[in-house]
Structure 1
Amino acid sequence: YETEATFFDEGVRTAKQKQLEEKLLQLVQPAFQAMLGHIRSGTLDKFKEAFDKALNGGEAFSSAASSSTQTYMALFDEGCADAVIKQVEWDTSKVRDKLRRDIDAHITSVRTAKLSEVTKTYEGKLNEALSGPVEALLDEANSGTWPAIRKLLQRETELAVSGFSSALSGFDMDEETKEKMLTSLMDFARGIVEAKAREEAGRVLIRMKDRFATLFSRDPDSMPRVWTGKEDIRAITKTARSA
């Protein structure tokens, strides 16, 4: 342009050059925006891969999230710097903000899934540690049953809460949220015992009937009772009922 416009008036030449530059930039801007979008999506994919790899490698959640975010936001900035056109200062902040929101959303999603996974793990441990033993204790109910159940509940709850608390420490959550989750786990443990107790309570009448029938129809040596007509039916019935 400068070669061909050499003999034109300088004012005209300058004005026309400015118009030409503006038109060229208008043509280039869509490609520039597309390039930024490509850099953003590529950076997000790399972030997700690195973040998952860090978590699978045993790094604490909050540490992995922080380090990965810093690394890949910096990588995005480098990519933008290479794509920027020196003649114009186009704003890349909106695309950068979009990337940060996408990264934060992914972190939140993974965090929710991981917390759910950890919670289910410790709920499963409690269920395994309490369900069978509590049911067995209730089946052989006696005066020591409930003290034994309370002792079992306390021991297994303390073990689970300790492990759960350690697992949650890697998520860098506030104390109030952490306490709520620990309390929820303790409530879950009590719920297991209460559910088993309700199940057993529903079977009490059947057990009482079976016990009565057994004592009524068998002698003190547990042999089938032979009815001769001389038995004290009232006494036998009273004994069976009281048992």
Structure 2
Amino acid sequence: MSAEKTREKEKVSVPTHVAVIMDGNGRWAAERGLPRLAGHKAGAEAVTRCLRAAVARGVDYLTLYAFSSENWSREPQEVSDLTSLMRYYLRHKIAGLHQEGVRIRFIGDLSRFDSDLRVELDRAEKLTSKNTRITLLLALSYGGRGDIVQAAQRLALSVQRGEMAAEQITELEFSQHLWTSGVPDPDVVVRTSGEYRLSNFLLWQSAYAELVFLDVFWPDFNERHFAAVLDHYARRERRFGVRPSA
């Protein structure tokens, strides 16, 4: 059997799209008597491990909840630390990801970031736009409710302008106006740190996703945890609301 056919066989139980709520940076740092910034830096290293694991296992899309819309209400110093980390990785890590064939997309209300950071985000997307090895979506200033609202507003404006009729708004049409337009819905949503909620992440897109909750802080997440997620997924029968046969 060729290597290509072997890979395709292995991908039968591998999700196309994995989405992760990266939680626990602050508590990881607190347990070690470290500042929260140390937790965020350690969390950034976990992103690298997660991405490598996703590539190795043949996942096509990986979405990471990096900065929620609610994060703007944190202490100004922590927000500043987080955006500084973004700038560092955008300036020093994107070239390496590009060489590895990673396509990068950012989803969320990016208008809330300073103009210089938005320039960096745009540059990263354009640089990697032709890559096909894996698509990495980073949710920045993202909220699931806000995503739904902005899609509804855009559709309402189209109806108001006479570009479409209200009855033409279908689920498919609606999904094409979300920030994740063009990306398949996640097959599995993972949350670390032992919390059991979605926290306003991909609310529309996760309607039929398998949910996996791990009792590990995000900075400790590694390839073994990623393998456990895929094992959970492979053992679940996805019915999409269809009644199982007798």
Query: Does the alignment reach a TM-score above 0.5?
Result: no
Instruction: Name whichever structure is richer in helix by fraction.
Output: 1
* TM-score of the superposed pair, with normalisation by structure 2: 0.24
Instruction: Name whichever structure is richer in strand by fraction.
Output: 2
Relative CO higher for 1 or 2, CA cutoff 8 Å, sep ≥ 6?
2
* TM-score of the superposed pair, with normalisation by structure 1: 0.24
